[in-house]
Amino acid sequence: MEFNILNHFKGLEEMPTDPLKADEIGTSLFMTGNMGPQISKKMDEKAKAAGMTRRNFIKSSLGFSAAMLAANEVTGKRFFEVGAAEAADIDAKNEAIHLARASSDFIVDVHTHVCTRPGHYQLGVNTSERGMWFVQLLDDLGKAFGMANGTRDMNVENYGKLILEESDTTVGVFNPFGFREHYGGEDMIPMEYQVGVRNKWPKSTIMLAGGLTPNQGLGETLDRLRMYVADYKISGLKLYTFDATPQKGWWFDDEKLAYPIWEECRKLGVKNIGCHKGIPFGQFYARYAHCEDFDAAADDFLDLNFIAYHSAWPYHNELAALKGFKPQRKNLYCEIGSTFAATVTSRPLECAHVLGTLLRDLGPDYVLWGTDSLLWGNPQWQIEAFRKFQIPDELIEGHGYPKITPEIRRKVFGENAARIWGIDKQSAMSAKAELTATATA
Ligand SMILES: [Zn+2]
């Protein structure tokens, strides 16, 4: 994620957040976003109805259901399929969790990160001022979500703890950040550090490579790509079309700079190519966050899958048009990390339009689940919010969006990712069962 959450969610840093209790994070986001004051008032009434003090109520799992219910009441629309009992009675809440889990138990989080490295990031020593803008943003975010040491806590150990053990995530797909010009000549998250995630949890994770930009030299880029495949056995790429070189960026449809990379991917059997689109953050430039360069690349490399991370939000309409007007297209995907997280609690109407547009135009087979954790802490609140989220009827009628059925939810949560990464659901599920068993033992 890459957007200044502390300005967007006012007072978040003062809310109670335990990084192991994802519900609290979700509740806090509802209470500090655009509807915060109205939702906060309703939380008092709901705490009273549950016979609890406000503080205990907010810290309990009922608080998150109550916040979703309050958002429905404040907006006058049913964005969340939550019954009143789930916000007042712990047995009803547990029953609802059980039912939701049974309906969508296979979750592939296509967008996750660790965010540190040995030596970390020190201004003027191994990190430039521009490089620090991004670190600072992520540091603040991590602290607001209960990770006391910010990015330093976004390490390999917490990846396992917060994503694989404490949330319902079955498989985590993770990728590094590059931008080495800003980080003392070394990638912000070097491959040799992040590979520790896969080494520890080989059955529950999928590793993508990153930090490639042809502006560092095409020959060097192709060499690194070959090395990633040979030494790290990568399962795809997640790239950035803005970069930290003097050229500032590049495009996927550049026949001289980019096409040789896709041709090499083809030879090496690297099929899934993601790119950060939308959310122009920190030190980077918005023009490279647009996705029109996917158009020609997707047509010229039909055997590769192109995945727009963040779904190009707030330019998701441009992405949707690349399929809406070209229904023959079968290799264009989107991923909703940070986009869903940043909108669902504070601008649910926008969230419904974004998801509705993607599901209608790209289609339910091409939308992928992602949370951008560890940047947003434990992802469980996002999983629960998506299990409950719905596009209200009045938007379905007016815009032709599909209703989010249990089948669509399962596709987005895991089946689409399993298809393109060839994940064996049964073995991933048994690895998950083992992990949870050892965590609670
Ligand atoms: Zn990310």
CATH number at residue 323: 3.20.20.140
Distance 111 CA to ligand 1 centre (A): 6
**pTM as predicted:** 0.96
Asked if the structure places residue 315 within a domain, the reply is yes
Confidence of residue 396 (pLDDT cuts 50, 70, 90): very high
Is residue 439 in a domain? no
- In angstroms, the CA 27 to CA 41 distance is 13
Same domain, 291 and 153: yes
97 plus 137 within the same structural domain: no
* Ligand 1 centroid from CA 51, angstroms: 40
Q: Is 306:317 a contact under the CB 8 Å cutoff?
A: no
CA dihedral 375, 378, 381, 386 (to 10 degrees): 70
How far does residue 1's CA lie from ligand 1's centre (Å)?
5
Same domain, 139 and 87: no
Distance 393 CA to ligand 1 centre (A): 32
- Per residue in 178-224, pLDDT (tens digit) is 999 999 999 999 999 999 999 999 999 999 999 999 999 999 999 99
- The band of 441, judged by pLDDT with boundaries at 50, 70 and 90, is low
Residue type, 234: I
Same domain, 193 and 282: yes
- Residue 73 CA to ligand 1 center (angstroms) comes to 32
The residue whose two tokens read 């689109």 is: 277
Domain boundary, last residue among 103, 138, 153: 103
353 & 320 share domain: yes
User: What domain range is 206 assigned to?
Assistant: 108-433
d(CA 215, CA 258): 10
Residue 9 Cα to ligand 1 middle (Å): 19
**Would you say how long the chain is, in residues?**
441
Ligand 1 centre to CA of 62 (Å) is 30
How many whole angstroms from 84 Cα to the centroid of ligand 1? 35
* Residue owning tokens 């335990």: 18
**Residue 168 half-sphere exposure, CB side, CA atoms within 13 Å?**
22
| Cα 112 to averaged position of ligand 1 atoms, centre (Å) | 6
Q: Are residue 213 and residue 67 in the same domain, yes or no?
A: no
Q: What is the pLDDT of residues 140-180, one digit of tens each?
A: 888 888 899 999 999 999 999 999 999 999 999 999 999 99
Are residues 260 and 179 part of one domain? yes
Ligand 1 centroid–CA 242 distance in Å is 14
First vs last Cα of the chain: how many Å apart? Answer: 33
Residues 96 and 146 in one domain: no
Neighbour tally for 341: CB within 10 Å: 27
Question: What is the spatial distance between Cα 9 and Cα 43, in angstroms, rounded to a whole number?
Answer: 17
How far, in Å, from the CA of 76 to the mean position of ligand 1? 33
The alpha carbon of 370 and the centre of ligand 1 are apart by a number of angstroms equal to 9
In a domain, 440, yes or no: no
pLDDT in tens, 221-280: 999 999 999 999 999 999 999 999 999 999 999 999 999 999 999 999 999 999 999 998
Same domain, 93 and 122: no
Tally of domains within the chain: 2
Distance 240 CA to ligand 1 centre (A): 10
Q: What is the mean pLDDT of residues 9-27?
A: 82
The pLDDT of residue 3 is above 60: no
48-107 tens-digit pLDDT: 999 999 999 999 999 999 999 999 999 999 999 999 999 999 999 999 999 999 999 999
